[in-house]
Amino acid sequence: MWYQKKIMNVVMVALVVITIVVPYERSAFAASPVVTDVRVSQRASKTRVVFEFTRDLDFKVFILANPHRVVVDMPEVGWQLPARPLPSRVGVFETLRYGLYKPGSSRVVVDLRKPAVVKKAFLMKPAGVHKYRLVIDLAGASKSAFLRQIKLPPIEITPAGKVGFDAPKAPTQKFARVTAPKPSQVSGPEVLSRSSIVNSVAKAALRLKPQKTRKKKKEAEFIDKDIEKLTLIFRPAPRKPLKKSQNVIKTIIIDAGHGGADPGTIGRSGIYEKHITLAMARELAKKLKEAGRFKVVMTRNRDIFIPLRKRVQIARDAGASLFISLHADAVKNRKIRGPSVYTLSERASDKEAAALAEKENKSDLIAGMDLSHESQEVANILIDLAQRESMNQSALFATQLVTDLKRRTKLLRNTHRFAGFAVLKAPDIPSVLIEMGFLSNRTDERLLQTAKYREKFSGGIVAAVRSYFSNVEQAQNQ
């Protein structure tokens, strides 16, 4: 009988699949713990946040200001939450984000509605239907109590089940506080060496370094208003010898915006910007590689958080000739749609561009990075000088992009705009940021999720990359 044969075939295939796949899958799953639930409840003045896990793990819990956040770090975990919306607006709890923070390490960021302190954080063993639980009790606190707790090292919670932290009596806190690099690491010797003008300005800038007392205030201002002026850590970018022949392999950086604990903008249907950008980045990488004369480096090729300055550093380490950052926006007016192209400028071309840069530059904050130790003034002056040249090149490439994208899709008005995007601040690499469309617009959101549109759109970028480099080569040969 034909159907018996067919059933036998299916069974055979299934058996083969089970024998091959299951042992691998089983070991893979056994190795990775999974978060199975997140619950938030309010009792009296206490907001309790509970995470349920398939295994017991090590945790680190700490708070950050501007905006007020609780950060929970843990080994890399998978997420299989129940099919219901994430909790929001319970007691001091506003919302939460989660994702891969770096390889081997996951992060949850809890946004607070007002200053709050961690009263207790502890692990509970499985009981009844519940698996391992991490319990964090939060309570609203005065600004000063909040700032006092910020100064403490992270709370460490170990699987031994001991209470890692009980607010009044500060316990053993072994871990060093996770901090951004010290200002001393954020100097720019190789930028200094670029020219004597830069050098002298840099020396003056170094003298401007704020004193300790002024520093706190400055930093607060920085985080509130000037977040776009993120600093870079300068290391010498490998210099490739200039060749004037036609077929020099150029390295192109493709930067998929956001990732991990930073989802980016959230679309009408709930789609995350970080997924849209990665899908386009992969398509673009494929196309550029097919074009033959480009080496492609992706700042990320999975759902992971990469700090903005790290993205720039990847480009410099690769000796890149072009940096393309991919994003998608969302605005209140749901009718607005279409892609636009941005290049760096300290002065934004218009209000919307400035607001957009501010939003995009919050990536590090959203993923729970502590930026309170940044010293941006020095680096800003240096970047400004060193960047003039690559800014011109960026503008040329942006113009080419607008031309080539226009042939394929309807663009936003004033398509090429300027603003202070942190991710465009490689001083020596022409860089553009493409907002591929608006996830707040139904058409854009749908288009960006189709392979066909991604193909068309990335085709436009590849065409622009090719024309840009042939123009550069022509100019060099003249």
Q: Which parts of this chain interact with Zn ion (CB under 5 A)?
A: 257, 264, 327, 360
Rounded to a whole number of angstroms, the distance between the first and last alpha carbons of the chain is 77
- C-alpha span between 255 and 321 (Å, rounded): 14
Nearer to Zn ion, 251 or 301 (CB): 301
Nearer to Zn ion, 154 or 257 (CB): 257
Residue 75 has φ and ψ, to the nearest 5°, of -60, 165
- Minimal distance, residue 419 CB to Zn ion, in Å: 12
Nearer to Zn ion, 131 or 327 (CB): 327
- C-alpha span between 344 and 431 (Å, rounded): 8
Residue of this chain nearest to Zn ion (CB atom): 327
Q: Are 302 and 100 in contact (CB under 8 A)?
A: yes
Nearer to Zn ion, 262 or 283 (CB): 262
Q: Please report where in the chains the tokens 């561009």 appear, as a residue.
A: 353
**What is the maximum span of the chain, computed from C-alpha positions, in angstroms?**
89
* Cis omega (within 30 of 0) for bond into 67: yes
- C-alpha span between 419 and 436 (Å, rounded): 16
Nearer to Zn ion, 186 or 433 (CB): 433
Nearer to Zn ion, 81 or 298 (CB): 298
Q: Are 198 and 382 in contact (CB under 8 A)?
A: yes
- C-alpha span between 364 and 371 (Å, rounded): 8
Write the CB contacts of 471 (distance below 8 Å, at least 6 apart in sequence). Answer: 396, 400
Nearer to Zn ion, 426 or 434 (CB): 434
- C-alpha span between 343 and 203 (Å, rounded): 28
Q: Are 123 and 159 in contact (CB under 8 A)?
A: yes
Helix axes 376-406, 451-477, angle to 10 degrees: 110
Cα Rg, the chain, nearest whole Å: 25
- The strand pairing partners of 433, in sequence order, are 325, 342
- Minimal distance, residue 61 CB to Zn ion, in Å: 28
- Minimal distance, residue 389 CB to Zn ion, in Å: 26
- C-alpha span between 184 and 77 (Å, rounded): 34
- Minimal distance, residue 265 CB to Zn ion, in Å: 6
Pairing of strands 116-124, 105-112: unpaired
- Minimal distance, residue 274 CB to Zn ion, in Å: 8
Kindly state the tokens that stand for 139: 């309570």
Strand order of the β-sheet with 165-166 is 78-79, 34-43, 46-53, 132-140, 116-124, 165-166
Nearer to Zn ion, 119 or 417 (CB): 417
On the CB side of 348, CA atoms within 13 Å amount to 16
- Minimal distance, residue 278 CB to Zn ion, in Å: 12
- C-alpha span between 468 and 429 (Å, rounded): 14
Q: Please report where in the chains the tokens 């989802």 appear, as a residue.
A: 263
Nearer to Zn ion, 234 or 323 (CB): 323
Kindly state the tokens that stand for 205: 């800038």
Nearer to Zn ion, 264 or 338 (CB): 264
| Inter-CA distances, 315 with 253, 296, 429, Å | 6, 10, 8
Amino acid letter, 171: P
- Minimal distance, residue 331 CB to Zn ion, in Å: 13
Nearer to Zn ion, 360 or 445 (CB): 360
Nearer to Zn ion, 187 or 277 (CB): 277
